[in-house]
A and B are shown apart, each in its own frame.
Chain A
Amino acid sequence: EIVLTQSPATLSLSPGERATLSCRASQSVSSYLAWYQQKPGQAPRLLIYDASNRATGIPARFSGSGSGTDFTLTISSLEPEDFAVYYCQQRSNWPSGTFGQGTKLEIK
């Protein structure tokens, strides 16, 4: 099973700052990686798929990059509503997949 490791576990930033979240796979997943956002009491929401494609309705301040084993989610300028938990998920062995353990983005 492919293991995804996210870092950091917690990221403390202020609104307007740039956020960089990392996801590393235990083996290559090509570009088959997604990012989700989850706010308290809500279901997750798909942000990025296939490493760098924004899902429908996702603001341009969210971007994804990477391939193989190393991936990054960047939020260019944090808005108050962006403080949440972020998960990466791989689907290289579809229809199976795994999630990372999450990064909590909190207000500094």
Chain B
Amino acid sequence: EVQLVQSGAEVKKPGESLKISCKGSGYSFTSYWIGWVRQMPGKGLEWMGIIYPGDSDTRYSPSFQGQVTISADKSISTAYLQWSSLKASDTAMYYCALSGENYFDYWGQGTLVTVSS
């Protein structure tokens, strides 16, 4: 069974750094793209970026380029999304999603990130 299990909710202060994770199982982790999607409170889905763990090829949406870093550790089948300096506007639910046929077939349960002073 394909599963994406994300790390737990985080509460951070502005300016702090953060790295959240998404562990894949039940499939060949290095063979499929994993994307990250933001959903701000009460808002829609936003494509942040995507990584191919096999060779770490990474693409960012223009809106998120330079704002976050996406990475993967294939030795532990885990993808990451990180911030070096959080802002209050980063408060959102973040989903990782697996692309099987070039769409997001499987989704993680989401990680809620709250940034507040």
User: Which of A21-29, A41-49, A64-72 is near enough to bind chain B?
Assistant: A41-49
* A interface SS class: loop
Q: Is the CB of A44 within 8 A of B62?
A: no
Residues A56-104 near B (CB distance < 8 A):
85, 87, 89, 91, 94-102
Q: Say which size band chain B's interface belongs to.
A: 20 to 34
Provided the pairs A1-B61, A44-B107 are in contact, do residues A98 and B102 lie with their beta carbons within 8 angstroms? no
Residues in B lying within 8 Å of A, measured CB to CB: 33, 35, 37, 44-47, 50, 52, 57, 59, 61-62, 95, 97, 99, 101-105, 107-110
Question: 12 A-B contacts, Cβ less than 8 Å apart?
Answer: A1-B61, A34-B103, A38-B45, A44-B37, A44-B107, A55-B105, A89-B103, A89-B104, A91-B102, A95-B57, A97-B50, A98-B61
